[in-house]
Amino acid sequence: MPARPSRNTALLALAADLPASVLSDTLGISISAALQWTRRAARDWNGYLAARRTEAWWERLSMAR
């Protein structure tokens, strides 16, 4: 039984759930390979990054009070 289809399915599922940088670090693959997998999974992390930035801003604001 060939393992490649299962490997690709697992990578695609991970790429849909993780940002490319985390995928790269976790699996030990290059960032360019991780980016290709996340593109194949058609996941856009801009919303996540914007939410994190807003969250960090609110935390800094509440600490300043």
Percent of the chain with pLDDT over 90: 46
4 or 31: which carries more pLDDT confidence?
31
pLDDT of residue 65: 66
41 in Cβ contact with 10 (< 8 Å): no
Domain boundary assignment for the chain: 4-64
CA dihedral (2, 7, 8, 10) positive or negative: positive
Rounded to whole angstroms, how far apart are CA atoms 62 and 7?
Answer: 45
17 or 43: which carries more pLDDT confidence?
17
Whether the per-residue pLDDT at 25 is higher than 90: the answer is yes
The average pLDDT across 23-43 equals: 92
pLDDT of residue 61: 72
32 or 44: which carries more pLDDT confidence?
32
